[in-house]
Structure 1
Amino acid sequence: MPRFAANISFLFSELDLPERIDAAAEAGFEAVEILFPYDTPVPALRRRLEATGLPLALINAPPPNYTGGTPGFAALPGGEERFRHDFARVLRYAGALGPRHIHIMAGAAEGPEARAAFLRNLAWAAAEAPAQSLTIEPINPVDMPGYFLADFDLAAEIITEVGAPNLGLQFDAYHAHRITGDVLGTWERHRALVRHVQIADHPGRHEPGSGEIDFPAFFARLDADGYEGFVSAEYHPAGSTAEGLGWLGKLAAR
């Protein structure tokens, strides 16, 4: 059975962020991920991670764009200086909190200049933090219109072209379903590049088992393929988080 992490930017939202770590531990999750921890004091998060013993699976980079733009800007032509400045802040947080992965968000952009900028920024980041695992994630264009990285084949091309041993693929089953309609087939094509997995069902981006995706088959494939990373629950609870955790209980009962 996969090892499940709670994305506490989505789950347990009725609690303060540090308290969500305790809630995740009590619910039986084996790790947490936080999309953007940058507004929460590091000591508060670190205390709860240490007290629960839960590792931090992932954070996003760069810090969010508070002017209302699409999250991320690593693929924006001409934004290299800004990217490097903000990535330094990300690494300070990573040094204090120890995330297993840092997801570098491409942002809204298009065309060959955006691709070149993304390649330059990824290559620089991989060299700047050679001991840190970095990921990129295809995000479907319905949920995030204009996002540069909306194709798994493009993501694989970019990872291969950068050629850094610490850069890999973040595989979100929800986005795979919306982009390709074939979660298992997309996994099979790209599983060798995958560092981190996230899950939510479709439609609604709710709990696994609430929609169209065959999660028992997906989890069985992860086990059969020897995937050893975390599988993070990154979904919008249909009700309260606790009420919707039946899927996790069923898996644990196995």
Structure 2
Amino acid sequence: MTPHALITGSSRGIGLSIAHLLARNSHRITLLSRSPSALTSALSSLPPVASSSLPHRYIAGDVSSPRFWSEEFGEKFMEGKDEGDKIDVLVNCAGITREGLFARASEEEVREVLDTNLTGLMVGTRWLLGNKCFRGRKARGEGGGEDRQMPVIINVASLLGIKGGRGAVAYATSKAGVLGFTRALATELGPLGIRVNAVVPGYIETDMTEGLSSSSSLLAQIPLKRFGTPEEVAHAALFLIQNQYAHNCVLNLDGGLSAV
């Protein structure tokens, strides 16, 4: 059966690059983001599913909304749900940032970042687990075929969750929480046959870092002297998906910035 990947924050940037790479590696994709128009464009850019009667699709919605997962997402995801809709790969990539000194940030700005980057991620993952949306692992020798890969959750964190950063207190806090969530959830889900890992990107060429890649002072701090690409982050995610012993694995992808 064609493996199925649900990717949040996947209408552009890192999330869309992961979707493209998984689609090229024989996964069926469900994109999830806020903008229907951006999702329509993203969906049309994916290579077709080679060996599945079920096509790629998208679900539009705000992961930070308290009712999104239980009502909007639940209704759309469960509609016509069959074994093919079970999730093999969950990539939690939705994220926003708000620049500015913490003391000057409004309560609404702080809550928006935390609700999108951390609370929404946790609530969504909990909903999917509670509603048994993950496909069970095929036991060795069952049906006489090859072992099926264990379901896996990939959380996209950030180097700022480890090092911190001026003007990004709420963002850094949320991403540090993503790493804590990854480690704690890994201890609970490993015995149940679900792996949990995290990718920790440094500075990546996306809309979120637009204009920063020309900063000579910032580039000077990065040992490789450049920003990474969304495609390079996607390859790191693919490694964590394919390697069946990768569990509670936190993979830095920052050009060496975490070493200085």
Q: TM-score range by the shorter chain?
A: 0.3 to 0.5
Q: Which has the larger radius of gyration?
A: 2
TM-score between both structures, scaled by the size of structure 1: 0.40
User: Which structure carries more helix by proportion?
Assistant: 2
